[in-house]
Structure 1
C-alpha cells in the first residue's frame, strides 16, 4: 500500500451558492463538502479536508487553505489541475503542493487578510450585487480610517463578535486596517492573526456607521472597551466579504 502523503490546497471560490465552508449535516452544499466529493471522485478515497478558515454562507475567497491525506501517487502540484476538471466552476484550486505530514493550517502562526467591499452608489448595480454591499448614502472614508485605527493592536474584541461564538478567548491582534476608495467602491482591508465569528463583518458595519456620520471615530475606542456586542455596529451582509490570503509566518514545511 502506498504511503500516505499530506497535500495542501489553496482554494478560491464564489460563496454565493454555498452554505459556508464547513461541512454541515443539514446541507451538502458547502465548499468543504464539494472538495471532499471531488477528491473522492479523483482518488476513490474517503477524504475529509481540514480547512484553515471557516467562512460564512455567501462569503467569497481568493485563497482559503485546506489539507488532506491521501495514498494517491498523483504529484502534489498536479492535484490542482486534476481537481479543477471535477469541481464546479465556482470553486477552483489555484495551487496544490505536498507538505510535511505534521503540517496543520490551524496550528501555526498566520496572518490573514480580509476585504470588505461597499458599493457606494446612489442606485444598486445588479451585476455587482453578489460581490459588494450596496450602501446608497455618502461615506467619508477618511473618518472610517480614523475610526479603524482604534482597532489596530491586541484587544478583546467581544464587542465585535457574534454572541454565539464559542471561542475560548476573544483576544485577537489586528496588524493593519485600511479604508480606501476605488472609484465607487469603499474597500475595508483587515489583516490579523485570527478573527472571531462575524468579526470582520461587524467591523465593517461599525465603520459604515462612522462613515455615514452616525458615530464619531473616537466612539470605536469606547465600543472596544465596553466588551459588549450591543455597543458596536450591525453585522454587514456576507456578500461584500472576501478572504484574500493566508500568510504562514514560519513558512510551509514541504517534503
Structure 2
C-alpha cells in the first residue's frame, strides 16, 4: 500500500534538531530578562528564639592551630579562626541566634595567636535549650537536653574537637574572668642546647614581674600595666631529645611565652648568660625592649586552664576517628620528609638533629650580636601615645 511521505521525513538531521529545540522553547514560560533577577528565592526558615529558653554553659575543647589565624573572631570574615568555625557551627544548628558573639554572651578563657594550639581551651556562652529554666537545674533531665557536643562536633573540622561541657556552671561564671590560671607548654628539640642553664633561667620568671621586655605591645589595647604573676616555670623532659617549657601563670601578655622562649633558646646556646633574664625583667635598668625575634608559634600550646570545681561532662557521642585521621595524615607526611632526607643527603653526612632554626635560637653560622648591643624598641608609653594621636587625627579628618 502506498504511504505518503511526511514532510519531516524529507528534512535533514540538523533541521529536525533545530525544529525540536524551537518547539521545546515554545512550551517554556517566557521570563523577560529585565525581571529574571526579581524572581523570589527560597530562604531558609528563620527560628524564633523568643519561643525557646536558653541556658549558660561552659565548653572545653581542643584544636590544632596552624590552619587558623588565631582563636578570636577577626574583623575580616574571610580570615579563618577557631571561634569563627565554632560560632558558625552553632548558628547553623540553631543553637545561637547569630554568629555575633555579643548575642550569646560569649567569653573565652585564653586568646591564642596564629599557629598556636590548645588542649583545654574553655568558652562560656548561652545556648538554646529544650528544657524550662526549672528543668535545667535538675541533672535528671540532662538526657532530654540537646546533645551540644554531638551537634557541635558534627559541624566542626577535624582539627577542632569539643570534648567536655558543664551544663550548670557556677553563678556568674565567665570563661575569661573566672579562670584561676593558664598553663602553657612550648615543645622543642633540646639537642645541642644546655637544658640545665635554660631551666635555671626559667626559675627567674616565677613571681610577679613587669614583662614589658618579654612581650609585644598592642597599642590598640592601651595596656599600661605589664605586671604578671608566674606560678610555675621549668624545663621538663618528655621523651628522647624532646623537652618542653612548662609555664603556668594567672594571666599572660601578647606573645609573652614566645618571647620568653626566644631568650631561653639564646641562653641554651650559650650566647647569653643566665642572668640576662633578670636584666630584662629589671625595667628600671632596661626600660625598653631590645630587638629580637620571638619563637615560632606552632610548638606552643595552651595546655590547660584552671577553674574552681565544676561539673564537667563528656558526651555519650564522642568519636576520635577524625582526630586519628589528622594524626595519621601528618605521620605520613613526616615519613615522606624523612625519606626525602635519606635519599638526598650524602651518605657521609648525618641527618639534621631536628632543630632547624625555626624560632629555636640563633643560626650558629650567623654572627651573634649581644642583646644589649642591639637597637632598642620604643617604650610602651611612646607606642600607646602615638596610637592615640593617630586615632584623634582620624576622628578629626572624619568630621571634616
Q: TM-score range by the shorter chain?
A: 0.7 to 0.9
Decide whether the 8 Å contact of 1:147 with 1:218 is kept in 2.
yes
The equivalent of 1:132 in structure 2 is none
Which moves more between the two structures, 195-204 or 49-58?
A: 49-58
Q: For residues 13-28 of structure 1, what are the structure 2 equivalents within 5 Å?
A: 13-26=63-76, 27-28=78-79
Coordinate RMSD, CA, aligned: 2.2
Higher Cα radius of gyration: 2
Report the CA distance shift for 1:71/1:77 in structure 2 as closer, same or farther (over 3 A).
closer
Decide whether the 8 Å contact of 2:233 with 2:245 is kept in 1.
yes
Higher RCO, 1 vs 2 (CA within 8 Å, ≥6 residues apart): 1
The equivalent of 2:259 in structure 1 is 202
Q: Does the alignment pair 1:177 with 2:228?
A: no
Q: Does the alignment pair 1:70 with 2:139?
A: no
CA shift, 1:41, in A, is 1.6
CA shift, 1:197, in A, is 0.1
1:62 and 1:211 map into 2 onto residues whose CA distance is 27
CA shift, 1:233, in A, is 5.1
The equivalent of 1:97 in structure 2 is 166
Which moves more between the two structures, 160-169 or 106-115?
A: 160-169
2:224 and 2:300 map into 1 onto residues whose CA distance is 24
CA shift, 1:101, in A, is 5.8
The equivalent of 1:126 in structure 2 is none
* 1:198-234 residue CA offsets vs partner (Å, 9 max, x unmatched): 0000011111111010111112111110354534853
The equivalent of 1:225 in structure 2 is 282
The equivalent of 1:33 in structure 2 is 84
In structure 2, runs of 5+ residues without a counterpart are 1-50, 132-141, 313-400
Which moves more between the two structures, 107-116 or 93-102?
A: 93-102
2:289 and 2:210 map into 1 onto residues whose CA distance is 15
The equivalent of 1:144 in structure 2 is 198
Match of 2:148 among 76, 79, 83: 79
1:71 and 1:112 map into 2 onto residues whose CA distance is 29
2:119 and 2:179 map into 1 onto residues whose CA distance is 20
CA shift, 1:184, in A, is 1.8
Decide whether the 8 Å contact of 2:212 with 2:289 is kept in 1.
no
Decide whether the 8 Å contact of 1:7 with 1:68 is kept in 2.
yes
Decide whether the 8 Å contact of 2:235 with 2:244 is kept in 1.
yes
Decide whether the 8 Å contact of 1:7 with 1:96 is kept in 2.
yes
Decide whether the 8 Å contact of 2:166 with 2:311 is kept in 1.
no
Q: Does the alignment pair 1:154 with 2:208?
A: yes
Decide whether the 8 Å contact of 1:157 with 1:171 is kept in 2.
yes
Match of 2:309 among 237, 244, 251: 251
2:65 and 2:258 map into 1 onto residues whose CA distance is 15
The equivalent of 2:364 in structure 1 is none
Decide whether the 8 Å contact of 1:206 with 1:234 is kept in 2.
no
